[in-house]
Amino acid sequence: MDDLFSQIESKPLSLLPYDGDVTYCGHLIPPEQSRIYFNRLLNEVDWQYDQAIIFGKHIITKRKVAWYAEHAFQYTYSKTTKTAKLWTPLLLELKQLVEQQTKEQFNSCLLNLYHDGSEGMSWHSDAERELVEQGVIASLSFGAKRKFSFKHKDTKETHSVELDSGSLLVMKGATQRHWLHSLPTTKKVDTPRINLTFRQIRTE
């Protein structure tokens, strides 16, 4: 496992022209290994339908989610509070891969399971007060290739990238302050995708 990176030539691509720092590494994990990770994540993660309160209404999302961390942290978004489950060996293995590549440390991970292209995530930024300010978010994708977009909050400029299976996208610096991101829904994709966003939760 340790020499996985040295086997793969992957020059990260820089996506944003200003006000943020996003890099995309298309082939962090080779296709066959990515397929194995996808299946293991599908079977081993404790997937749940996500709940939120939006305009006072209790909503249950179509996509499934899970949240794991080094402690039973609590995290509030869309007016619902979630408690983290503790790292599993599989998630620790993926965390180690991501930490080696980014030279950063992560203490939690939010996972999303999109059953097909009819499920996505609308425009948002990840700057909840539980997160370290200007912390790094490392996003690992498996399964169906999906478009991922950024939109500047003031200029409305947009930039998109196709997130492939086994790819890593790293968002840091002022990115969350100035840019929104989304996973648009699409009729072109009829297979599932799993995404892991490794995050830095404030501990003090």
Ligand X SMILES: O=C(O)CCC(=O)C(=O)O
Radius of gyration of the chain, Cα coordinates, nearest whole angstrom: 16
Stretch that binds Fe ion, among 29-37, 70-78, 122-130, 162-170 (CB under 5 A): 122-130
Give yes or no for a contact between 39 and 194, defined as CB atoms under 8 angstroms apart: no
* Structure tokens that stand for 192 in this block: 């599932």
Which residue of 38, 106, 142, 148 would you call a contact of ligand X, by CB under 6 A?
148
| Position 42 contacts ligand X (CB under 6 A) | no
Q: At what angle do helices 31-44 and 89-102 cross, to 10 degrees?
A: 140
Listing DSSP states for 17-40 in one string gives: SSSSEEEEETTSS-HHHHHHHHHH
Which residue of 99, 104, 116, 126 would you call a contact of ligand X, by CB under 6 A?
126
| Position 197 contacts ligand X (CB under 6 A) | yes
Which residue of 34, 101, 102, 195 would you call a contact of ligand X, by CB under 6 A?
195
Which residue of 34, 107, 108, 139 would you call a contact of ligand X, by CB under 6 A?
139
Q: How far is the CB of 75 from ligand X (least distance, A)?
A: 12
| Position 130 contacts Fe ion (CB under 5 A) | no
Q: How many CB atoms lie within 10 A of CB 74?
A: 13
| Position 24 contacts ligand X (CB under 6 A) | no
β-strands 57-69, 108-114: how paired?
antiparallel
Minimum CB distance to ligand X smaller for 19 or for 126: 126
Which position's Cβ is nearest ligand X? 195
Which residue of 21, 99, 104, 126 would you call a contact of Fe ion, by CB under 5 A?
126
Give yes or no for a contact between 63 and 112, defined as CB atoms under 8 angstroms apart: yes
| DSSP single-letter state for residue 72 | -
| Position 110 contacts ligand X (CB under 6 A) | yes
Which residue of 181, 189, 198, 201 would you call a contact of ligand X, by CB under 6 A?
181
Handedness of CA 115, 67, 8, 2 (dihedral sign): negative
Give yes or no for a contact between 63 and 114, defined as CB atoms under 8 angstroms apart: yes
- Look at the block and give the residue holding tokens 């999303």: 112
| Position 19 contacts Fe ion (CB under 5 A) | no
> Rule CB under 6 A: which residues touch ligand X?
110, 112, 121, 126, 139, 148, 163, 181, 183, 195, 197
> Rule CB under 5 A: which residues touch Fe ion?
126
